[in-house]
Structure 1
């Protein structure tokens, strides 16, 4: 019986050693998924508050479809993450059930072995038997060993009793953990069901809107193209100003004005190095907001044949939201075009951050600014009620993806 117990204990130990790494990895992955799920839930709440809460302003169909498309994409990510969590919990539940079964088998053998020991002890409980066992020794050493054996056997009985209690407690904890995980899975599945219902409702709304757009697609497509041309024109003006600043820096340093990179002073080099070292850790240009349009080329949800080119990101925020710098630097320039896309450019060595769609300015050209300093307020579109900040980053005259620079953008 003892040898069988040792064998099963060894097998269980090997199984536990192999499984513990997997359990730790699963727990870490579960925590990561839970963190991401909470972020997406928070983002959906922000989308609702920033893009759908206002009933006073009547949005254009184009803006409504844009906002719905964004909300749908976030909700689909939430459902995907929640499905991954549910699947991971299923594996954890199965693992726990296997561990419980192994514990039950081990506990059964321990109890059987302990019962057999108690029975043997009962049969040989007479003190005369123990005394005769000692007196029948052939010499003193053998008597001493037999005495030690009697003590060890008594201690072994106590240890087995303790082990049974410990294993019983472990089994109870595993059962509690199993119940907890099943409740967690049930909660996640219910949340996912509600998310899918909301997704279906949003998709149906989007289909109705797109169907109405299809009746006059050419008109809506023209509006999108016109808006794209205005954005492109402003981007070209920004690039022109940056090129002029690069030429001025090289002229001042006695270098060719045809160079496409800034000529930096030692102080500017140190600032640029510090800016680079903070890549991925820079703060958001607003305290509260969501990324409505990301960097790069994105197909229009209205007309997929139209590609929307974004040199930065568009962040939906609150009405009158203060705009803040993402890093210390110097105000390179301020633009006030006729279309209202008021813009501030902040220089950080050979890097420039661009803040567009401002209603107010709190700085002037040449001012030194610090990280998170308020430099203005976002403008609110009177027609749609939306407050959108367009934010971009340049290295010399090359555009950068802000998501690579701003923390969790």
Structure 2
């Protein structure tokens, strides 16, 4: 039982190290992505900082950078907590292994003493011949054989336990060094976060001082956004109307056929007209099944404005729909799911592509170029166009159940 416990401890040590490595790898991967996104915002801000006049784009980039830095600090904190847990586990495992090793050595020393007392061939033969019958003599002979094998196994357990302690102590030292590096990284990131927050406060103050002009600019952007929103809703309404007429025509034909055959007319279909066909219903179901796992509309980019209310200055509040993103200048914009292009339009100088996925729609706004055509079937991650020289574009997602409801992309797109 003691040696089964030794094996169990060694196994738990191995499994614990595997789980820790996997969790640490995921955090390191996320931190690498955050570093990449922070570097992108830095590069863009360095370019825009030449313009002394503070703009909304600069403020949104600063806010995006602050969000990224805060998330990086939280990720580092998660790594530190993970390392602290691993360090505590390692310390406990080393203590357990050392206690096990002490007991193994004690038992092994007792066996050695016993073996030394009975090490001569004469003593072993006398032990066997002293048996009262042949059966007992055979058992004594097997015992001596098994005793030798057992002693060898115990020596191997001691060696394995010593190696496990050595490896655990080395891992413990690595964990402590890693933690020191993370604490230094965390301190540096906190300092850069403070600098970014100061820049944001300065930008907000500058914009507040020109609040009248800011309101005028935002009012124009809102009007343009409303025009685009109307164009998208009209396009989706047309899709619904086409689907409704088609469904009603099919129902009329089916009812006429049933009447001619003396049968009862089939029940009217319920739900969205856009799901009237099996193909459309399947596409909608597949889209929903990928909720939270849809690829981003760009291979590399950051969100500068999320959906919801956002405050600029003291008295200026904007209600954002969809996401505003920033990617590399001229970067590819891609479809987040397979579907059919239903609209390509230009509203207030903003080129937009609308893609239908059953009863769901995605809109890609402010494209510099378009590489698809209306009614074209496209696949997931297919390039549909490119971003402009500033890399800004918008992404919107809608659900139509015979009425239109815009969705927040954060519940649909995969974590970046």
Give the TM-score category using the shorter length. Answer: 0.7 to 0.9
Corresponding residue for residue 298 of structure 1: 309
- Of residues 356, 363, 376, the one that matches 2:385 is 376
- Of residues 95, 100, 104, the one that matches 2:94 is 100
For the Cα contact (< 8 Å) 2:235–2:342, is it kept in 1? no
Corresponding residue for residue 389 of structure 1: 393
1:100 to partner: Cα distance: 0.9
For the Cα contact (< 8 Å) 1:253–1:263, is it kept in 2? no
Q: Distance in 1 between matches of 2:321 and 2:202?
A: 31
Q: Distance in 2 between matches of 1:308 and 1:344?
A: 24
- Is it true that 1:318 corresponds to 2:328 in the alignment? yes
Q: Distance in 2 between matches of 1:168 and 1:89?
A: 23
1:40 to partner: Cα distance: 2.1
For the Cα contact (< 8 Å) 2:274–2:280, is it kept in 1? no
1:86 to partner: Cα distance: 0.6
1:215 to partner: Cα distance: 3.5
Corresponding residue for residue 170 of structure 1: 164
Counting only pairs closer than 5 Å after superposition, residues 34-53 of structure 1 correspond to structure 2 as 34-53=28-47
Counting only pairs closer than 5 Å after superposition, residues 210-221 of structure 1 correspond to structure 2 as 210-221=204-215
Counting only pairs closer than 5 Å after superposition, residues 6-405 of structure 1 correspond to structure 2 as 28-53=22-47, 60-254=54-248, 262=274, 264-265=276-277, 267-295=279-307, 297-300=308-311, 302-303=312-313, 306-337=316-347, 339-380=348-389, 386-396=390-400, 397-405=404-412
Where relative contact order (Cα < 8 A, 6+ residues apart) is larger, the structure is: 1
Q: Distance in 1 between matches of 2:340 and 2:20?
A: 48
Q: Distance in 1 between matches of 2:215 and 2:369?
A: 32
1:67 to partner: Cα distance: 1.0
1:347 to partner: Cα distance: 2.6
1:83 to partner: Cα distance: 0.9
Q: Distance in 1 between matches of 2:113 and 2:354?
A: 89
Deviations 1:250-306 (A, max 9, x none): 245447xxx9854745554454444444444443333332222223x1322x33654
Q: Distance in 2 between matches of 1:33 and 1:104?
A: 32
Counterparts in 2 of 1:251 and 1:208: CA distance versus 1, 3 Å:
same
1:192 to partner: Cα distance: 1.4
TM superposition score normalised by structure 1: 0.82
Q: Which runs of 5+ in 2 are unaligned?
A: 250-270
For the Cα contact (< 8 Å) 2:335–2:382, is it kept in 1? yes
Counterparts in 2 of 1:179 and 1:231: CA distance versus 1, 3 Å:
same
Deviations 1:328-365 (A, max 9, x none): 4333223222x312222223333322111122334444
Q: Distance in 2 between matches of 1:158 and 1:123?
A: 18
Matched residue pairs, number? 392
TM superposition score normalised by structure 2: 0.80
Q: Distance in 1 between matches of 2:114 and 2:379?
A: 83
Q: Distance in 2 between matches of 1:379 and 1:89?
A: 43
For the Cα contact (< 8 Å) 1:279–1:406, is it kept in 2? yes
Corresponding residue for residue 265 of structure 2: none
1:142 to partner: Cα distance: 3.5
RMSD: 3.3
